[in-house]
Amino acid sequence: MSHFRISHLILYLSLSLFPVLSQANIKPLFQFAAGLLNKGQFPESDRYTTDDDIVILTNDGVELTANIFVPTNLNGPAPAVVFINSWGLNEYQYLQQAADLAEKGYIVLSYATRGFGSSTGQVGTAGPKDISDYSQAIDYLLNNYPVDPNAIGTAGISYGSGISLLGAAQDERVKAVAAMSSWGSLVDALYGNQTPRLAWAEILTLTAELRGNPDPVIAENWDIIKNQQLSRIPEVLEWAEVRSPINYVEQLNQNNTAIYFAKAYGDNLFQPNSLLKMYSQLTTPKHMDLLTGTHATAELLPSLLGIGEDRVWNNVYQWFDIHLKGESNELSQSSPLQMKVKFQDRYEGFSSFPIPSASADTFYLHPRGAFDNGDLEKSPYSPPFGIPKDNTINAWSGTLFSTQIPVLSQILEQLEIPVMTNIYAASDFRGIYFNTGKLSSTMQIRGNPEVNLQVQPHYEKVQLVGYLYDMDRFGNARLITHGVTTLPDAKRGEKIALSFELVTTAYDVSEGHRLVLAIDTMDPQYKRPTKANYFLDFEFSRQNQSTLSVPTL
């Protein structure tokens, strides 16, 4: 294993440990791994030449460091691919992939975005200057190498994928994009359902400090979101809207840009829901792989550890062969949406999203009693004598309902190790759960479950986290998916309706098991709105029903 791959592995180890260790303890490990990434080890071959001394001068004087792979036996203009680095990395990130593509006849340029690697300037977080740089990198490629101007593609993981999508919307010369672990809405990524994404945002701000020259607005904006500075949040969301690819679907459709997406269900940095919404709005050639894992692990772990097939990169290569070379291959013949069924060795193909063959299976929440838990029933709740009922939970601490260790638990899911808990052992005081009867047949969940709750908060700040579990007869349960919503400015004592989606999933609940919806008031993925010891009532009446809607085949 090369030092470059080892450094990636250490970086992911440090990210996995970050939520449970202090910044002071994690920084030395992170810095050691990051130092190994400062200089790449170029794969050698007589089928291409390389140049590691490229500097692209931007319109505002920033210098972008870059490298290039050029096939040795070109017969006329060649297709080209531009790679853009992930957050905190540099132009050496994609050396192996650039070599692979060069051997297939592509000219491949990789550059480090402003503020990262040896590139000058400040990190712009996929802002207008980054998008201008993107087009200037393509200008440099066309002006200096024998590139076919009608066969240009761009690609990246995470940060590089977002810049690829935003850049392609503004630059019609780009015919194909491979966007891995990308985001649809940066607003949702930072503050979806008014909930600050604590674990990943802290990781990103630390990474920017250690590995780049960040614009101070990055830390300032996160501080506003994290501390729920409500008067200033609109300005942060306006900043994020400009950087949200979902807002540029019309331009991508007009340019007919062919887009490949790879996205993990457990990517709690950029959860898949908004990217799937963007996918559904695209009328261009498109393909999406939905996989297990967390942010960027579906792209990195197979090559780092040799675990499983390297599906994502194989499909990236095929995508460019289809749309930059005009070839037909296995990917061009497959259904455009591929969903990995969690904890099973199979993918299922669909024509679009939401899944056309999936229908909403609606369950009504019935309250728990003195000696039994709540139920998920097919019929609405009808209280005896029409008298409404409520169940109360307290937010003083967490429960056994949890996504568990951020980053690490989702990596383990990719390795087929589920997040487990015991439903029966969870606190009835701090959380609540509702379950179906034993299923008479397998329930095939495909898509975004949705929770609708009738609640009465007894405090001004409230957070609710919903977990969907697959429970056996002993109460042992696998986490299927989860979702969150926060009220940073609630009205104490007011009865309200709350609705929120759970994260997209593909999961089969076995015959004889029970489907469980569990709810509590905190999760390590997210910033709590308060540490106050408050109460929350769940309201049950004939007029106002609480429901769980599950898309099933």
Q: Does residue 22 have a pLDDT over 50?
A: no
pLDDT-derived band at 25, boundaries 50, 70, 90: very low
Tokens in use for 23?
Answer: 């910044």
Q: Does residue 191 have a pLDDT over 70?
A: yes
In a 13 Å sphere around the CA of 459, the CA atoms on its Cβ side amount to 20
- Measured from the Cβ of residue 414, the count of other Cβ atoms closer than 10 Å reads 22
Contacts of 22 (CB under 8 A, 6+ apart): none
pTM for the model stands at 0.93
Q: In what helix (H) or strand (E) does residue 315 lie, and over which residues does it extend?
A: helix 311-325
**50 beta partners:** 69
| Placement of tokens 């969907």 in the chain | 468
User: Tens digit of pLDDT for each residue in 125-137?
Assistant: 999 999 999 999 9
Residue 124 · residue 215 · CB < 8 Å: yes
Distance CA 180, CA 197 (A): 20
Distance CA 282, CA 286 (A): 8
Question: Phi then psi for 416, rounded to 5 degrees?
Answer: 70, 25
Most distant CA pair in the chain, distance: 84
**27 beta partners:** none
Of the candidates 207, 5, 180, the residue with the CA atom closest to the CA atom of residue 83: 180
Tokens in use for 54?
Answer: 């490229």
Contacts of 242 (CB under 8 A, 6+ apart): 127, 128
The answer regarding whether domain 43-334 maps to CATH 3.40.190.290 reads no
Distance CA 133, CA 149 (A): 18
Q: Does residue 208 have a pLDDT over 50?
A: yes
Residue ranges of the alpha helices (H) in 231-296?
A: 233-242, 249-255, 272-281
Quick one: pLDDT at residue 39? 61
Distance CA 510, CA 441 (A): 7
User: Tens digit of pLDDT for each residue in 522-542?
Assistant: 999 999 999 999 999 999 999
Contacts of 120 (CB under 8 A, 6+ apart): 62, 63, 114, 213
Contacts of 137 (CB under 8 A, 6+ apart): 56, 64, 66, 82, 109, 111
40 or 351, greater pLDDT: 351
- 381, exposed or middle or buried, with CB in 10 Å at 0-12, 13-18, 19+? buried
pLDDT-derived band at 301, boundaries 50, 70, 90: confident
Rg value, the chain, Cα: 24
Q: Looking at domain 359-552, which CATH architecture does it have? A: Sandwich (2.60)
Quick one: pLDDT at residue 10? 47
Quick one: pLDDT at residue 307? 60
Please name the amino acid found at residue 254. Q
Quick one: pLDDT at residue 18? 47
What is the chain's mean pLDDT, rounded?
A: 92
DSSP state of 179: E
Quick one: pLDDT at residue 38? 58
User: Tens digit of pLDDT for each residue in 391-433?
Assistant: 999 998 889 999 998 888 898 898 899 999 999 999 999 999 9
The lowest-confidence range among 4-18, 456-470, 525-539 is 4-18
Percent helix, strand and coil across the chain, each rounded to 5?
A: 30, 30, 40
